[in-house]
Structure 1
Amino acid sequence: MAALRNLSMVIGAAVAALGSVLFIAWNRYMPGRRRSRRAGYQLDYRPLCSQPNYLDRQILVLGLDGAGKSSIIHALSTNTTRSSSAPTHGFNTAQILSQGLKIELLEVGGSQNLRTYWNQYLKNAHIMVFVVDSTDDKRLQLARRELHRLLEEASHLPLMVLANKQVNIGWFFALL
């Protein structure tokens, strides 16, 4: 029971972190923003039906196999958690539609053979989220190498490193 509660807390923290990325993306790319002289920025709220053309943004979710990418995407798209998930043998997607903005969360599997395809997805991405299993000390250096390889390909791409399953964050600085 305690393990399930801890898993729920970890996934909740990961969802909150990824939710922050979505909020930043939404604020950065939201159409219809207008400047008010008195109140700073104000959003122009219009019904979805009057905005047939969505502004598309893609968030690429990458990381080694077993890092928790699928669980995070599942939790964001369904607002539920699950205790286990099968390895991704390809990719997973989820879409979030909100007031003229369509955010596609695209996860490409993290197994050795799928990592070779990661760079092909970089050109369409607007933000990259790199998920790390912070309890997997043995593969931390591998995760670091893969992240640095991606950054060489797409140094312009905004990046968020998500420390999943974390107990503490002291290990984070080993990635940098």
Structure 2
Amino acid sequence: MSGFRGMGLAVAMLAASGGVAYVTWSYISAKRKKQEQTQELVAELDHIQLERPVSDRPTLSAVRELRQEVQHPRKQVLVLGLDGSGKTSVLNSIVTNRGSHSTAPTEGIHAVCLTNGKSRMEFLEVGGSEKLRPFWEKYLDNALALVYVVDSTDHSRLPLAKMHLHQVVQQNSMLPLVVLANKQDLQMPPPICR
């Protein structure tokens, strides 16, 4: 019986190490493919730059800026969550170092930049309304980390928040994630008894 246990343990360890190896290989392959695509795009931009007449300065400067953006993409902390979860209030309290409660929903994108000497961190909040949620995945590639804000007092929408969080994680499973249970300081409404 102990021989079967030992063999089962060995098979399980082999499967686990194979899974880790596969994930690592997939990540490295994706990184390499992205680098190749970036190099191809830079080469295309160089070609465009050579074809343009010298008198077309605005276009050349735009190509140079685009080329620099492709070579050194901006990285930011992406802040997502359902509408009303308190994303803007969290960002404002980080910037001002004091609590504030904003009730206006974010329509589109809200960007906040923190600078401390040579250090710079950008926070990019994308609105959480139903019409804006499909656009979340477009911002994942430039994200350095993800902060997912959940309204901890809105129990009826917790399953919806969980579903959208899982969808985002499936899009980029290697992205560092912080789930923030917001509004814990607020008093919960009394349960409805019938």
Query: Under TM normalisation by the shorter chain, which class is it?
Result: 0.5 to 0.7
Higher relative CO (Cα under 8 Å, sequence separation at least 6) belongs to 1
- Deviation, 1:148, is 0.2
Q: Name the residue aligned to 1:92.
A: 110
Structure having the higher helix fraction is 2
- Deviation, 1:99, is 3.4
Q: Name the residue aligned to 1:127.
A: 145
The normalised TM-score by structure 2 is: 0.55
Separation in structure 2 between the aligned mates of residue 167 and residue 103 of structure 1, nearest angstrom: 27
Separation in structure 1 between the aligned mates of residue 101 and residue 147 of structure 2, nearest angstrom: 22
**Contact conserved, 2:78 with 2:124, CA < 8 A, in 1?**
yes
Q: Name the residue aligned to 1:157.
A: 175
- Deviation, 1:78, is 2.1
The normalised TM-score by structure 1 is: 0.61
Q: SS at the partner of 2:131?
A: helix
Structure having the higher strand fraction is 1
Alignment of 1:18-37 (within 5 A): none
Identity of aligned residues (%): 48
- Deviation, 1:82, is 2.9
- Deviation, 1:72, is 0.7
Q: SS at the partner of 2:111?
A: strand
- What do you get for the CA RMSD once the two structures are aligned? 1.9
Q: Name the residue aligned to 2:11.
A: none
Separation in structure 2 between the aligned mates of residue 99 and residue 151 of structure 1, nearest angstrom: 33
- Deviation, 1:97, is 1.2
2:154 is the alignment partner of 1:136: yes
Q: Name the residue aligned to 1:38.
A: none
Q: Name the residue aligned to 2:184.
A: 166
